[in-house]
């Protein structure tokens, strides 16, 4: 039995003598693994088409353990990402996020649209990356993914005692999964100091209008959030993202 599906390659690894296994994020099946036979041989035509940063149409044959790639057509191509270190690092960071956070065979169209949007934006960054680099883009995108997956930091009241928050003294604790009041922070809660304005910003990313926050923050760095996001990821994943140090 054969079928087709579209998806993005997240990761590839050698298998057997000349095959490769591809972890692919598909629109219909979520994250899954496909086997491509013979693609490590020099003459393989399929190999060239199995590229990162393109939405690929896969033609597949049902296999016992993994479905087998019979053919590939390239759809939307984000290959501009591969032309600069900053863009490439950001692109691989997004792929790793999806790979680490999503379980197998759980379709999530919102996350699928999220990554297409993210790759499209990175691909449009100017070649002069220093000039065009948007400092908050990656943290915003990461937070948005956490929102889709139900891991968003708790903002409504103190994550520990559920008391009201004093906007002049706020601490974000990744251990508690959200904001702490001053008392809880002083009673041994770890936290990164953040401002009331940062909280409003975090609320806007959580809302339906999250894409507006990208444009609004184009020229404004938020050091607390730049520190906070990797801490949240480290805590959730219980280890560092491999691509974190490159972005
Ligand atoms: Zn508290």
In whole angstroms, how far apart are CA 94 and each of 61, 123, 198? 28, 13, 23
Instruction: Mark which of 47, 77, 107 sits at the end of a domain.
Output: 77
Is the domain of 119 the same as that of 21? no
Residue 123 is predicted with a pLDDT of 87
Q: Tell me how far the alpha carbon of residue 24 is from its chain's centroid.
A: 14
Average pLDDT of 217-222?
A: 85
Average pLDDT of 110-124?
A: 94
Is the domain of 127 the same as that of 216? yes
CA-wise closest residue to 143 among 242, 77, 225: 225
Is the domain of 115 the same as that of 71? no
Residue 161 lies inside a defined structural domain of this protein: no
Is the domain of 70 the same as that of 111? no
Q: How far is the CA of 140 from the centre of ligand 1 (A)?
A: 26
pLDDT (tens digit, 9 = 90+) per residue, 161-192?
999 988 888 899 988 999 999 899 999 877 89
Q: How far is the CA of 235 from the centre of ligand 1 (A)?
A: 20
Is the domain of 53 the same as that of 100? no
Task: Give the total number of structural domains in the chain.
Answer: 2
Is the domain of 86 the same as that of 69? no
Is the pLDDT score of 131 beyond 80?
A: no
Range of the domain at 121: 79-152+195-246
Q: Give the burial class of 208: count Cβ atoms within 10 A of its Cβ; 0-12 exposed, 13-18 middle, 19 or more buried.
A: exposed
How much of the chain exceeds pLDDT 70, in percent? 97
Residue 212 lies inside a defined structural domain of this protein: yes
Q: How far is the CA of 232 from the centre of ligand 1 (A)?
A: 19
Is the domain of 102 the same as that of 83? yes
Is the domain of 120 the same as that of 48? no
Phi, psi of 10 (to 5 degrees): -100, -35
Rg of the chain taking only CA atoms, in angstroms? 20
Q: How far is the CA of 183 from the centre of ligand 1 (A)?
A: 6
pLDDT band at 216 (very low <50, low <70, confident <90, very high): confident
Q: How far is the CA of 86 from the centre of ligand 1 (A)?
A: 39
Residue 132 is predicted with a pLDDT of 55
Is the domain of 38 the same as that of 102? no
Which sign, positive or negative, has the C-alpha torsion 214, 216, 219, 224? negative
Residue 13 lies inside a defined structural domain of this protein: yes
Residue 186 lies inside a defined structural domain of this protein: no
Q: How far is the CA of 231 from the centre of ligand 1 (A)?
A: 20
Instruction: Mark which of 24, 59, 77 sits at the end of a domain.
Output: 77
Is the pLDDT score of 39 beyond 80?
A: yes
Residue 85 lies inside a defined structural domain of this protein: yes
Residue 63 lies inside a defined structural domain of this protein: yes
Q: How far is the CA of 130 from the centre of ligand 1 (A)?
A: 41
* CATH (domain of 39): 2.40.50.140
Instruction: Mark which of 16, 45, 77 sits at the end of a domain.
Output: 77
Is the domain of 99 the same as that of 141? yes
Residue 34 lies inside a defined structural domain of this protein: yes
**SS3 readout for the chain:** CEEEEEEEEEEEEEECCCEEEEEEEECCCEEEEEEECCCCCCCCHHHHHCCCCEEEEEEEECCCCCEEEEEEEEEEECHHHHHCHHHHHHHHHHHHHHHHHCCECCCCHHHHHHHHHHHHHHHCCCCCHHHHCCCCHHHHHHHHHHHHCCCCCECCCCCCCCCCCCCCCEEEECCCCEEECHHHHHCCCCCEEECHHHHHHHHHHHCCCHHHHHHHCCCCCCHHHHHHHHHHHHHHHCCCCCCHHHC
Q: How far is the CA of 141 from the centre of ligand 1 (A)?
A: 28
Is the domain of 102 the same as that of 218? yes
Listed in sequence order, the residues at least 6 apart from 45 whose beta carbon sits closer than 8 Å to its beta carbon are: none
Residue 129 lies inside a defined structural domain of this protein: yes
Is the domain of 12 the same as that of 61? yes
């Amino acid at each position: 039995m054969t079928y087709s599906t579209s998806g993005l390659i997240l990761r590839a690894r050698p298998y057997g003598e000349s095959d490769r296994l591809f972890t692919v994020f598909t629109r219909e099946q979520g994250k899954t693994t496909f086997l491509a036979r013979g693609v490590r041989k020099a003459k393989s035509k399929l190999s060239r088409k199995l590229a990162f940063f393109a939405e690929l149409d896969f033609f597949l044959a049902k296999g016992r353990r993994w479905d087998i790639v019979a053919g590939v057509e390239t759809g939307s191509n984000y290959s501009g990402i591969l032309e600069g270190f900053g863009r490439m690092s950001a692109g691989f960071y997004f792929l790793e996020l999806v790979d680490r956070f999503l379980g197998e065979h759980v379709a999530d169209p919102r996350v699928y649209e999220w990554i297409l949007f993210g790759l499209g934006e990175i691909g449009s960054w100017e070649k002069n990356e220093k000039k065009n680099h948007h400092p908050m883009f990656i943290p915003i995108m990461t937070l948005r993914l956490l929102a889709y997956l139900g891991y968003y930091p708790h903002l409504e009241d103190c994550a520990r005692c559920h008391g009201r928050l004093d906007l002049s003294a706020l601490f974000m604790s990744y251990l508690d999964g959200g904001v702490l009041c001053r008392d809880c922070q002083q009673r041994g809660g770890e936290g990164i100091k953040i401002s009331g304005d940062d909280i409003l910003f975090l609320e806007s990313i959580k809302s339906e209008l999250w894409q507006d926050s990208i444009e609004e923050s184009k020229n404004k760095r938020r050091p607390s959030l730049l520190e906070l996001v990797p801490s949240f990821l480290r805590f959730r994943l219980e280890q560092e993202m491999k691509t974190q140090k490159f972005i």
